[in-house]
Amino acid sequence: MPHIAIPIPASPGKQEIEIEMTINGVQQQVHYRVELFYWSECEMPQVNRVECIRGILNEYDQEWMLYLIGEPNEDFIPIIFVKKDEWAEQRKITHPQAV
């Protein structure tokens, strides 16, 4: 699937991103959520960051699904989620043969 990159400023907490697009005359709307998860807030020891990420994903709001895990730094890891129902609808439009 082709991608368009849009820079989002890194700020604390979550950022709700709503994208409306028209592709070949079909209008679509998709909500993304970008969150920065700080290692210092993780219950797991800092040595085991994979377990920290696994815990974040397992406990996350079930209306959202993982879209992308960003590049971590020493302080945090950015994780992008997408609304499940909208993503499923977008997939039907962009990949009708896969449904």
Nearest by Cα to 38 from 62, 13, 61: 13
What are the pLDDT tens digits along the chain (99 aa)? 566 777 776 666 677 777 777 777 878 788 888 888 888 888 765 568 888 899 889 999 999 999 999 999 998 888 989 889 888 777 776 666 655
Nearest by Cα to 62 from 84, 43, 86, 95: 84
Is residue 13 classed exposed, middle or buried when 0-12, 13-18 and 19+ CB atoms within 10 A define those classes? exposed
In angstroms, rounded to a whole number, what is the distance separating the alpha carbons of residues 38 and 44? 12
For the full predicted model, state whether its pTM sits above 0.85: no
Question: For the chain, which residues make up each domain, given as ranges?
Answer: 24-98
